[in-house]
Amino acid sequence: MGALDVSKVVQGRQGWRLITCIWLHAGVVHLLINVLCLLFIGIRLEQEFGFVRIGLVYLISGFGGSLMSALFIRASISVGASGALFGLIGSMLSELITNWSLYANKVAALLTLVLVIVVNLALGILPRVDNFAHIGGLISGFLLGFVVFIRPQFAWINQRRVAPGPQAAPAEHKHKTYQYILWIVAAILLIVGFTLAIVLLFRGYNANDHCSWCHYLSCVPTKKWKCNSSPTTCTAMLQGNTLNLTCEGKGIYRSYIVAEATQDKIDQLCNQLCS
């Protein structure tokens, strides 16, 4: 129904699910939690920067969270706006850094934001929570904040208010050099990161194959809960001579070229894939 299902995104070419999953939730409680978080975070940001820039950060961060989730979470579907919300939090952090000289209680604000991020990411290691979407949204929003939340310096603003005279002070720059550097670096990382993630996703890249410990970022098993409670099932999709198999319980899928896809052949390949 529009949720983020990697097999449908990659094999079914339903890339729109990377966007639609942001507006779906797993229940009333899930929806209310995200609405309350959006009220606390979004109102202040929107009053300060306007709904256009906040809307862009929200949407792009949500998309970034979906991309990272799709690269790591292979065995289950994912829904929710948490990635977009983490993007807003990440943008607040980068906004503080890039406009560092404009703040009075900058250290206190920085420590508060870092604490909020750490606590929320720690909650993401609980089962049934897609922490990869949180991390992807956080990184996307953090980089976007350097691009869209850059502010002019007070000296430049005050200079514009003063009428020019015979002994006018030297012209002040609108932004500091470090702000321009952060803007350029963040923009490059965003473009390269999103392009690379999209290409890898639709090529069937499974990030877990290259990072054996990364699954602990989303769930840490304990005596009270297990992280992989889904049954291991194998689904097959035949397109011409190409047989696509998905091991649902492990989040693994492979493509095979077969001359004749008999049921015995499919069962044999499924056993090899899911064992």
Q: Which residues pair with 234 in a beta bridge?
A: 247
Catalytic residue, candidates 25, 61, 78, 134: 134
Catalytic residue, candidates 66, 82, 94, 140: 82
CB 252 within 8 A of CB 274: yes
CB 74 within 8 A of CB 228: no
User: 173 catalytic, yes or no?
Assistant: no
CB 247 within 8 A of CB 274: yes
Residues 21 and 78: their CA atoms lie apart, in Å, by 7
Q: Which residues of 169-208 are buried (b: 16+ CB within 10 A; e: fewer)?
A: eeeeebbbeebeebbeebeeebeebbeebeeebeeebbbb
What is the amino acid identity at position 230?
A: S
User: 134 catalytic, yes or no?
Assistant: yes
Residues with active-site annotation = 82, 134
